[in-house]
Structure 1
């Protein structure tokens, strides 16, 4: 595992993790083009969305599962696609501290969706990582 110090940014939005049925169409509100981050994952079992929670329409909880109040940390990249240990060097300490993490990767960098932002910042700063855009 790498011991490289990383820079991470806290994105401004509060996020929701949503589960729809596998045959559901991707709702427009789940793909807000001007959002700081959103993710859509389709499998044979489900359609999952991670999006700013303010984008979810009223009453949506009646037809889909919604877990709110997640925050997003962006690893400041870019990183080479084959650079080993980037994600695990951040996720393992968070997991060891009891912090739930959803990890999303893009071509340039990685994003971590966490349920305990304050505790995540404490853990990461104690390891020497730099957190910017904190509240």
Structure 2
């Protein structure tokens, strides 16, 4: 097992050497582009304990049913670090195109080239369309 594979604790993760292929995933399964983790590890090799890969793996495993990633404080607790560290890495990953900023309040979603999660029916879990949330008066 490689270092990248050790980052994922669940058995419902399928690793791809490129963007995840939807047709190869089963319902309730997460598809992850492991090649990006190798690139992140190499690019941020001076990061302490290579926290970059650990944060990205936690983000991928924390895709919620809404399509967005979970709270920073929950991630910080799981990784035994601070919320400042988690926010810094989320911002860096968004700048690199691995995450998508949904708003300016820290709401992110994972880019499909990084990870795709399927629900129990086998449909892709993705954020709701922004235009549906606009209020009209």
Which structure has the highest helix share of the two?
2
TM-score computed with the length of structure 1 as normaliser:
0.30
Instruction: For CA contacts below 8 A with separation 6 or more, give which structure has more relative contact order.
Output: 1
- Relative to total residues, which structure has the larger strand share, 1 or 2? 1
